[in-house]
Structures are given as structure tokens and as C-alpha cells.
Amino acid sequence: MAGEEECVALALGNAADLEEAPASGNDPTAAGDEEEEEVRNDGDQEGRSKGLRKCVQNLPWYMGGDAFKRLLEEQDIKFASAKKRKGKTVGFVEFDVAEHAEHAKVKLEAMTGSKGKKPKVSDALPRSWEADETGNGDAKEENAELPRDVSEVVTPLASQSYEEQLREKRDGVATVLRKFVRHTRKCCVHGTPVPEWLTPGKEKGGMACDFEGIISSPVVEGYRNKCEFSIGFSADGESVVGFQMGMFRKGITTIGNPRNCRNVSDIAKFYAGALGSFIRTSEFQVWNKENNSGFWRMLTVREGRHPRTCQEEVPMVAEVMLVVQVSPSGIASDAKTKEYERMARELSSAAFSASPPVTLTALLVQEHVGVSNAAPADAPLISLAIPGTEVSVQYIHDYIGDLQFRISPTAFFQVNSFAAEKLYALAGEWAGLGPNTLLFDICCGTGTIGLTLARKVGMVVGIEINADAVTDALTNAKLNNISNCRFVCAKAEDVVNKLLNEYEVLPEESSEDNAMDTDKKRFSNVVVIVDPPRSGLHPTVTKALRVHSRLKRLVYVSCNPDTLIANSIELCAPSSTADKQKNGRGMNIKGMSSMGYARQRMKNMPNSEPFKPVKAVAVDLFPHTHHCEMVMLLQR
Ligand SMILES: C[S@@+](CC[C@H](N)C(=O)[O-])C[C@H]1O[C@@H](n2cnc3c(N)ncnc32)[C@H](O)[C@@H]1O
């Protein structure tokens, strides 16, 4: 999933969701696996509701240490917290006296903020239960930035017909295919010959290749098989399980009830409600994003379908996994354990007494103390016994076509299984596979793409960074009696070059009867399918693919058309005759778009035969949102 952005819209709050398009109003920058830094003043937080709380964007991060704190102290400013994500910094500061607030605002705005931008000081969005105390009137009325319902944030296209949504996404992908031409042409400097595809005629509409439009999702309501809910305060100050009402970096921390979100399933809504009811009886606090305190942080609901319910309007769900993320610091171990057991009893009782009863297959707690909800893949997972069931498991199963897939809590799986079937079938068709093909599935997750195509090829080599996903992929091969797959747990950038060169690929004409010989590692052709996270492929991977001359066919699948095009510039731009830059030195990438950066990286690309874009298509995996998957075939 592909997924995940930094796309315009808002993302789910977990690292896994970097790879997929968002379902929630969490800050996309919060979803990343990027480094985060925190400055926190653990001092007096009392009285914050009646003080003057300000949100500072573009905080001068270089002052994040002592100098900034000193300035704040001089002004008698209470510094709640600040976070740095992807170079953007947001802080919350609080004053007792309006005069101090004005004075500090002037001082802060006179500084140079992060990335050279001016700090912007605005009122932190008041929450309605604070309104009376601050004398600001009804916070909800005043706060034009806060949407009326979280569904406006999570499913911004929901008010349009599905046809209109598809048109909008199709046009968006057509636009990036035009940008592809413009940016790649800019790489043709110093007399570099311009390939024909860079001067597309009118029939191509200025696009780099044939564009086959958009494939619709077979299911458009409640299609998500995975939802990551934040736990926090609603606008009324109630503890709630739902989605963030806007971006944290805009000062929005309020959580909205997901009841009107059309992409969320009834089961996910049911469990968000059930956990919400439970935490309102808990002595432990919900997570407060402004000062990074509290216990209950997130709920992930994952669903696996019954076999053979594919393409039905309402998916029949056979298995459900719940992962509740908590921040356990400072809580005694036995108090925690008791609360986990109480939660297991409450959730299972709610599920079994619902009419009709709701499935519950696996219940886990993820303990994570970091600032962002994006827990590392190895954050401790505690499996809870579900009362009334004999065994506790840590995974669920879903189906792609007639293959069964085991899915572990942190493993990626496309969130719209029905539409994913269409996506994988198309990728396989375009890959032009045969019995002598060696297929690389780069960023393979639980092995979905490789395993669904394994019977058409000689051998599949999958590469995946998440160890649990690789264990799932190996299990999935066995579950489906597939024996010609190898799955390697590694960063693709660390192993792709070595793996590509490990197998002998003989040209078709010289191939003998035994050209496909997995023991001797000989094949007659090699094909690569890549399906990276939203950030795209690492430059080492694009370089390895480009310089591997035996690779003639590459299918790129992505939930982020921008990074797909950026990587395709590196794969398809003609080699320049100009001197190569050394190690990217001298590059000033500040504020550069992904495509601009790709053009810069082209300057380091060794001379090699470029690929040519042949055709592209969009596949709508995320109805009601701005997102879609894109597939492009590159050949040479
Ligand atoms: C969009 S998902 C695609 C997964 C799979 N193809 C599917 O459709 O289910 C991207 C996958 O890339 C993996 N990933 C992220 N960075 C990676 C890297 N540097 N090397 C290898 N895999 C990576 C993620 O863990 C995730 O499973």
C-alpha cells in the first residue's frame, strides 16, 4: 500500500500505515517512521485550561534546547511540549497573562524558524470544555478550522458521487503523467538526445505513456479491513476512540467519533464504541497529545474475510484482531495486568452480547512510550486471553483470490482486499510472466503479489523489511502449497543488487530446455514488481534496477503517484553526457519536490540504458478519499 504520503491528506497513526492511504484524521507526519525529537517541560501543567495556550508552528528548533527554554522562562511562559517531524516543528506554550502572550508572540515571530520559515503563533484551538473558563465563548463556534464532523477530514470526497470521485482521481493521475514528461525533459541537458516518449503527441494528451484511466473499487462502503483509531478527547472533553479532527501541526488534537465515516466498517465502529465505553470507566487517562501524557493511545481493528465472499457488497468477516496501544510508563505492573484483563472481559462481553454477536479472534496490547503513535515494529505485544475461547492467537487470515494469507499485527496488508485483487491481477498481467521467469517482488509484505503470481513463474524472490511480514509470507507459501518462493528479510537497498546478480538469466534465444532451473538458478528472463511505501524506493534500489541490464520489464505499484513518478524519472531519464556529481555533494535539496530531487539524483546515475514508460492505470482502493493506487509498466 502502498499507501500511506506525504500526501496532502491525513494519515493513520501507525508506522505500518506509512504504506497505505489514510483512513483517519491523524497528522500524516505522525504516521512516519522518521526520527522524532521532543522537548518537554515536565513542570507545572496545572491551570493550562484557564491560561492562554498558543500553538507555535515552525518553532525555531535550533533553540529547542536551553536558549529557547530560557526565552520562555524570561517571559514566564509555560512550555507544554514541542515535536519535530519531517523537519516541521510544532509547540504548545502557555501564558498566565495576556501581556506576556503578546510580548512572546512578537519575540517568537521575529525569530527565524525551522527551515528558515518564520514562526507562526496562533491560538491553540480551545476545546469546548475550556470555553467558559477562558471566556472565549463556544470554542466550537469560534473555531472555523475544526470540521463539524471527522468524516469531512477522513473521507473528504464522500459528498460527491462515486463517478465524480473517480473522475477527480483519474485527472490527478493524468496530471502526474504530464509532470513526468516535463521533469524528465529537464534531465536532457548538454545535448542529451531526447527520447520519443518525451515529445508525446496530442493523442497522448501530453502524458508520458498510454493512460488506461481508473479501475473502480468493487466495494465503496465500509471497505477498510484495517482502521487505526486514536484515543483522546472529543470536542466536549469526553474520552473517545476515533480519528483526529485535523493536523496536529495546525494545533488540532481533538478526536472525533468515526460513526459517519463511510470507509470504516460496522465492526470497526462497534469496537471503537466498545473500547470508548470501557476507557471511560478506567482509572487510567487517555493520551493527551499536547503534553504526551496518559495511558490509552490507539486502537487498531483488523478484519479477515470469509473465503469466497469476494466481490460481495458487504464483506463477510470471519476473523477480527484488536490491538490496543498504551503508554505504560509509571504504571505498576500488576495494576496494568488487572486493567488488561478487565478490558478483555469487557470487550469480549460486548462482542458476544451484541446482536448479532461480533467476532473477536485476537486481542493484543502494544506497549509503546514514544511521542508519536507510530510504534516501532518491535514494540512489545502482549497477547490477551479472550474469555470463552481456549487459545489466544496473534494473527488473522484473509484471502486474495483463492489464496489464504496469514496477517500478523504489524504486517502490511492492503486495506481494501477486494480492490487489491484487481490490482494484483493487473500487475501480474502487465508483468508478462512465463514459466521461465524469475520474479522479484520488492517490498513484498506478507507475500501477496509474489504468491498470487507464483504459479505462473519459475521462481519468486520477495524482499521485505518487516520480520513478522516475512514470517507470514513463508507461512503463506506453505498454507497454499507453493514451493517456488524465497522471502528475504532485509532492507531492499541492502540486498537488491546482490540478489539480482545471484541468479543466472540467459537470453531467450540461447535458452535450452532447462533454462528455468531453480537449482542452478538459471532463468530466461527476469521481471521486477515493486510496491514500496509512500516514500518510494530508496535511491540505491532505483540505481540497482536501472543498471541491471538483464532486467527488461518492471511493474511499479504505488499508493503515491508522486513518488512513483519521481522514481520513474530516475529509471527512465536518458543518461546524461555531463560529468557525474560525486555522492550528491553540492546538492541543495531544501524544499525540493520529490520530482525535483529525482532530477538531482539523476546526475549521479551511472550511464545505463533507460526504461521507457509503456502504460499506466489508476486503481481506486480508497473510495471517498483523495487517494488511489497507480500502476505503471516500464520496459527497455
Ligand atoms: C505498500 S506495502 C506493500 C506490501 C505488499 N506488496 C502488499 O501489497 O501487501 C510496502 C511494504 O514495504 C515494506 N518496506 C518498507 N520499507 C522497506 C525497505 N526499505 N525494504 C524492504 N521493504 C520495505 C513495508 O514493510 C511494507 O510491507
Beta strands in 86-132 (DSSP E): 88-95, 120-123
In CATH, what number is assigned to the domain containing residue 438? 3.40.50.150
Is 288 a domain residue?
Answer: yes
Query: Could you tell me the pLDDT band of residue 508, with boundaries at 50, 70 and 90?
Result: low
- Pair 255, 341 in one domain: yes
Query: Could you tell me the pLDDT band of residue 308, with boundaries at 50, 70 and 90?
Result: low
- Whether ipTM > 0.85 holds is yes
Residue 3 has pLDDT above 90, yes or no: no
Residue 52: half-sphere exposure toward Cβ, Cα within 13 Å: 16
- Pull the grid cell for residue 623: 473510495
Largest Cα–Cα separation, the chain: 86
Is the peptide bond between 356 and the residue preceding it cis, with omega within 30 degrees of 0? Answer: yes
Is 335 a domain residue?
Answer: yes
In CATH, what number is assigned to the domain containing residue 342? 2.40.50.1070
- Pair 351, 461 in one domain: no
Q: What pTM value is reported for the model?
A: 0.79
Residue 45: per-residue pLDDT: 32
- Pair 478, 531 in one domain: yes
For the chain, what is the domain count? 3
Residue 75: per-residue pLDDT: 60
Helix orientation angle between 594-602 and 162-187, rounded to the nearest 10 degrees? 30
Residue with the nearest Cα to atom 18 of ligand 1?
491
- Pair 496, 393 in one domain: no
Amino acid at position 349, single letter: S
- Which residues are CB-neighbours of 613 under 8 A, at least 6 positions away? 180, 197, 208, 209, 568, 572, 632, 633, 634
Is 414 a domain residue?
Answer: no
Give the domain extent around 298. 226-398
Q: Which atom of ligand 1 is nearest to the CA of 492?
A: 20
Let me know if 196 is exposed, middle or buried by CB neighbors in 10 A (0-12, 13-18, 19+).
Answer: exposed
Q: In this structure, are residues 443 and 489 in contact, taking their beta carbons and an 8 Å threshold?
A: no
Residue 79: per-residue pLDDT: 58
Distance CA 156, CA 217 (A): 17
Residue 128: per-residue pLDDT: 40
Q: Which atom of ligand 1 is nearest to the CA of 414?
A: 9
pLDDT digits (tens, 9 = 90+) for 30-79: 222 222 333 332 233 333 334 467 777 776 655 555 556 666 666 656 55
- Tell me which of 412, 471, 528, 619 to substitute to probe ligand 1's pocket, judged by most ligand atoms within 8 Å of the beta carbon: 412
Written as one string, the DSSP assignment of 506-522 is --GGG--TTS-BTTTTE
Residue 113: per-residue pLDDT: 64
pLDDT digits (tens, 9 = 90+) for 113-134: 666 677 777 776 654 434 333 3
Does the beta carbon of 470 lie inside 6 Å of ligand 1?
A: no
Tell me, yes or no, if 559 is annotated catalytic: yes
pLDDT digits (tens, 9 = 90+) for 77-115: 655 555 555 555 667 676 666 777 777 777 777 777 666
Nearest to 569 by CA among 632, 520, 519: 632
Residue 591 has pLDDT above 80, yes or no: no
Query: Any bridge partners for residue 365, and if so which?
Result: 324, 382
Is 52 a domain residue?
Answer: yes
Does the beta carbon of 413 lie inside 6 Å of ligand 1?
A: yes
Q: Answer with the one of 115, 147, 179 that is the final residue of a domain.
A: 147
Q: Answer with the one of 116, 147, 178 that is the final residue of a domain.
A: 147
At 602, give phi and psi (nearest 5°).
-55, -30
Distance CA 164, CA 172 (A): 12
Looking at 70-74, 272-276, 463-467, 488-492, which range is the least confident one?
A: 70-74
Could you list the residues known to form a binding site for S-adenosyl-L-methionine, using ranges.
Answer: 414, 464, 531
Residue with the nearest Cα to atom 26 of ligand 1?
445
Residue 600: per-residue pLDDT: 77
Is 208 a domain residue?
Answer: no
- Pair 356, 477 in one domain: no
- Pair 394, 445 in one domain: no
Residue 117: per-residue pLDDT: 72
Residue 510: per-residue pLDDT: 53
Residue 225 has pLDDT above 80, yes or no: yes
Residue 332: per-residue pLDDT: 95
Is 104 a domain residue?
Answer: yes
Does the beta carbon of 68 lie inside 6 Å of ligand 1?
A: no
Q: Which atom of ligand 1 is nearest to the CA of 469?
A: 27
Q: In this structure, are residues 304 and 225 in contact, taking their beta carbons and an 8 Å threshold?
A: yes
- Pair 393, 496 in one domain: no
Q: Answer with the one of 128, 147, 166 that is the final residue of a domain.
A: 147
- Pair 394, 441 in one domain: no
Could you list the residues known to form a binding site, using ranges.
Answer: 414, 464, 531
- Pair 272, 336 in one domain: yes
Is 484 a domain residue?
Answer: yes
Amino acid at position 448, single letter: T
Residues listed for the chain: 636
Residue 509 vs residue 630, higher pLDDT: 630
- Pair 323, 248 in one domain: yes
Average pLDDT over residues 306-325: 77
Distance CA 94, CA 126 (A): 12
Residue 20: per-residue pLDDT: 44
- Pair 382, 440 in one domain: no
Residue 579 has pLDDT above 90, yes or no: no
Query: Could you tell me the pLDDT band of residue 17, with boundaries at 50, 70 and 90?
Result: very low
Residue 625 has pLDDT above 60, yes or no: yes
Looking at 287-291, 342-346, 481-485, which range is the least confident one?
A: 287-291
Distance CA 579, CA 133 (A): 66
Average pLDDT over residues 273-277: 98
How many percent of the chain have pLDDT more than 70?
A: 75
Residue ranges of the alpha helices (H) in 188-220? none
Does the beta carbon of 469 lie inside 6 Å of ligand 1?
A: yes
Is 158 a domain residue?
Answer: no
Question: How far is C-alpha 237 from the geometric centre of its chain's CA atoms?
Answer: 29
pLDDT digits (tens, 9 = 90+) for 178-188: 999 999 998 88
CA angle 423-198-425, nearest 5°? 10
Residue 486 has pLDDT above 70, yes or no: yes
- Pair 379, 450 in one domain: no
Does the beta carbon of 612 lie inside 6 Å of ligand 1?
A: no
Residue 191: per-residue pLDDT: 76
